[in-house]
Amino acid sequence: MSVGSSRIARDIAFTLEVKSEKIFENIFLQNGILAALGLNGRVKIIRGGNRFDERTHLGQNSTVGQRSKFAQIPTDFQDNFLTASYGQSVCSGSGVVNLVEQDQNMGDSKIDDLAEGLVEEAQLTFPNKISDAVMKAAPGANDPDSIVYNIQATAFGSQTGSLGDINRANHTGLSDKTDAWQNQYNSTAISDIGSAAGVAAICKFAWDCSPGGSGISEQPNIALTTTGVFAKATGAADLLRRFGVSDKMLKLGFNNILINNAAVMADRNVTAGYLYFINTNYVRMQILAGSNTKTVGNVQTVGEGKQSISLQVRPPIEAGDYLNYVIKMYLVYNITWGGLRQHGLQVSITEA
């Protein structure tokens, strides 16, 4: 066997590890919601543990109120802060290096660059798998908490099921809007989203997703829809006259138009006639740190002050009965929610 083939396997593993930050960055550049989470610093690295937690506040302090200066102030214990707990989803893969191919790719007569080929393959595959998983209509047992699955097409106050181990039915928001573990929903048809009436209707629903007021932090800043809805919106002068674009998302390669504060983008995983309003201040991606992780805490993944995150790349292992080396790669992550009433789903929008 040619000298140095095992060294080449180690070199390839090292190249994948060094380039893994670019692979991870590419994950965030292939999906609008992930790009927005990275751009807004909504990616968090956690060291250790077998779950991801989000602290959320549901309800108001019942002791606060208008009363006489001689009246007794209630001192009831408040149990309004809850911890939403999420599992950890693993996206893994491998780079397989054939020993004969190693020999063929040494010296002046080499036919390919194995390391660059594996890096390019990972850059193309990991983003697609993770992007599809976070927008999956029906997540499987090993999938993360999907945006599409968790923004329900059911009336506010009537939604069931648990998210982060918090039961939606226990926090309907019907008597107290602040005590709501429910997303906004509207099924009133919008026949032309680019007309004056259509713009008014979708703007009103965007405001419905801003229950905390008119502050920018309370408004949805991302909207995902289909190419048909996006085309109908951009094809009408009325919408384009009223709103511009998000320059930050445009620089990342995402064509968009602004509705209120939300950058509307097309996503291949959205159901026909649907539009999801997302407020990234109340949702994020959490990642489990590993041996190759350089930073812990909140990171800004793309955009200005760019900081990428390493995939976990393991040393090459030679197969016992094949002429192969295997290099394993993985990422442990999930989408976690700090609130639901700040997000919404509009359906029945006529497509182009």
| Order of strands across the sheet that contains 344-346 | 184-186, 344-346, 275-278, 222-225, 262-266, 257-259
- Those residues whose C-beta lies under 8 Å from the C-beta of residue 27, and which sit 6 or more positions away, are 34, 126, 127, 130, 131
Task: Please tell me the predicted confidence (pLDDT) of residue 308.
Answer: 59
Q: What is the DSSP string of 282-349?
A: GEEEEEE--TT----EEE--SSTT------EEPPPEE-SSSSEEEEEEEEEEEEEES-STT-EEE--B
- The per-residue pLDDT for 341 is 93
Per the CB < 8 A criterion, the answer to whether 36 and 352 are in contact is no
Tens place of pLDDT per residue across the chain (352 aa): 333 444 555 666 666 666 667 777 777 777 788 888 888 888 888 888 999 999 888 878 877 889 899 998 988 777 778 899 999 999 998 877 777 776 766 666 554 566 667 777 777 788 888 889 999 999 999 999 999 999 999 999 999 999 999 999 999 999 888 899 999 999 999 999 988 899 899 999 999 998 766 667 788 999 999 999 999 988 776 666 667 888 888 888 888 999 888 999 999 889 999 999 999 999 999 999 888 776 677 665 555 545 556 778 787 788 888 887 888 888 899 999 999 999 999 999 999 8
Q: CB of 113 within 8 A of CB of 121?
A: no
Residue 99 has φ and ψ, to the nearest 5°, of: -65, -40
d(CA 116, CA 91): 21
pLDDT at 312: 82
Cβ pair 55, 83 in contact under 8 A? yes
pLDDT at position 1, please? 35
User: What does the buried/exposed string (b/e) look like for 98-109 if buried means 16 or more CB atoms within 10 Å of the residue's CB?
Assistant: ebebbbebeeee
Cα–Cα dist 9/105, whole Å: 12
User: In the chain, how many H helices and how many E strands?
Assistant: 9, 17
Return the sign of the alpha-carbon dihedral for residues 300, 31, 289, 330. negative
What is the rounded end-to-end Cα distance, in angstroms, of the chain? 61
DSSP state string for 192-224: -TTSHHHHHHHHHHHHHT-TT-S-GGGS--EEE
267 SS3 class: coil
Chain centre distance of CA 161: 21
Integer Cα distance of 252 and 164 in angstroms: 31
State the angle between helix axes of 5-28 and 114-134 in degrees (0 to 180), rounded to the nearest 10: 30
